[in-house]
Structure 1
Amino acid sequence: MTTLAPQAAPVKKRQGKAVMGEKRSLWQQTLVYLFLVIPTLALAAAIPIAWQTGWMSGLDAVMAIVFFFATGHGVTFAYHRMLTHGSFKANRPVKIASTILAGMAVQGNAVGWVADHRRHHAFSDKEGDPHSPWLFGTGPVALMKGFWHSHMGWMFQRENTSNVERYAPDLLKDKDIVWVSKLFPLWTVLTFLLPAAIGGLATMSWTGALTAFFWAGVVRVAVLHHTTWSTNSVCHMVGERPFKARDKAANFWPLAIVSFGESWHNMHHADPTSARHGVKRGQIDTTARIIWICEKFGWVSNVKWPSPERLARLEKEAAH
């Protein structure tokens, strides 16, 4: 049964430096607008363009899917479960490669992303949460405003919600992660140019390069953006809550495949360090499967798999 989260008092904003961090520069804020708005506009235009012109090749579709799953799993594997929550430890090549793939999702550099997400968990659906959908209250208009804010509106704010010194001091000491984070502009360029280069060389035409850039570059990034953002918005408003958590995080099964297992969000907030989010029969969690494969090859270690005893306890607490 899918339910809306129970009513709660509006969440108040906290403006202290320990939570909010510093203001973005005008140039940084301009880049935020560009990388949020342009892919979304391209996504809105994609369907009518494809319908009217057929301007999408089989190669474009294959590349879009491959880049979507590669960069999307980079975010869930590296940014989220490895770096934010320490669900496992990866050897150096896997750590660096997966973090680079995550950077190619164009969701910010590793250090800033982790700081934002750790802050979200520290204040989840309470004062200080950077993207709670319950910020404005529980009425219809308030929920619409809250959905916009949690989905993408919070990123348009001039304040840089990250406070990396407070929320990600461990990553600031990791030279590999700092290096990859500093090169985020390079990964952003590559995520758009690589599909274009492949498409252009495969077809030996500028048209092939342009269509690949559009579908496997811009549109793919937009779909991945909105999939990730839906975990912040939809999965804190609608869904099932079989496990005891201290917030309104919910499992929303329709997003399970495209979110790579992240939409089993109630389980994640009930046990944040768990390497597996989809713990019940039939709950697809491709990120957990990749972690499992890497563990078998010896590429990752100290994996925090959920224990049956803990799951039973969390489920029992939710029932009461």
Structure 2
Amino acid sequence: MEDTVFKAMIVEEPHKGTFTRRIGERRIGDLPPGEVIIRVHFSSLNYKDALSATGHPGVSRNFPHTPGVDAAGEVAASSTDALSPGDRVIVTGYDLGMGTPGGFGQYIRVPAAWVLKLPPGLSLRESMILGTAGFTAALSVLRLMEAGVRPASGDVLVSGATGGVGSIAVGLLAKAGYRVVAASGKEHEREFLRSLGAAEVISRDELLQGSERPLMKERWAGAVDVVGGTVLAAILKGTRYGGTVTCCGMVGSSELPANVFPFILRGVGLLGIDSVQCPMGPRVTVWNRLADDWKLGTLAGMAVECGLHELEQKIQTMLHGGLRGRTVVNLSD
């Protein structure tokens, strides 16, 4: 198979600090070592992929490079007994699409320890509507539940609610019986958020109102934050006594301009969510739930689909904050 040629997005650095993107050809023989070769059928576009495609040094440092932190497809070859040709599998996180050529190519070669068999109840396409975003959202919901946040506890807030993680978190929480308040800077997306199950939609300005104070009125029993920065600080200040906030993103800022009052006066918990190096045991648990009791009936309506040659436009739109929900990348010829 080493001479097999396939299509991929290739990010290059012709001059230091200058990055270009094109759809070109690569060989399986050019891929790094690994026990499993996977024919990729679907991937998805995440914010991290958009950063990788523009040469962001915090994501990818070696070029030429193929982004794509998500991949779903069939095993083409395997040197381990745990996986056989034809097995339908998912790979998300780890080093995929960062230092290792990722899902924006029709083939990947990865360590067997990164590969998860597709759970019954999900198609390959559905798994990539979810992808890293859905996995991260589900981890966030699971951590809230484990921390004791129940539907009867009160409102649960989701920030950045029109994005990939946020939109799926809204759907998962609503399906589990929570009253979800969705916060978004996109006023025109209120109906979209309500269609996902949000009981109430507030603007970013509403969320931040009064956030200059050390503490705000207690409102949130729990929250899923994907924004960071001043938004996360405001959420913490407005969380009820004993409430829990999960943090999984920093599209707003990596800085947290907060004080200790929510923690020492209200006992608020702040939990970090890592979907990249999460061990395989929790991964299997979460993906099985996403395929079963947490499977969303709204999945199809959350996603648009594009091919490799349409990716450039989608990346630019994402970088300018113009996408909502999920973008599935079809790697078919």
- Tell me the TM-score normalized by structure 1: 0.22
Q: Which has the higher helix share?
A: 1
Higher-RCO chain (CA-CA 8 Å, sequence separation at least 6): 1
Q: Which has the higher strand share?
A: 2
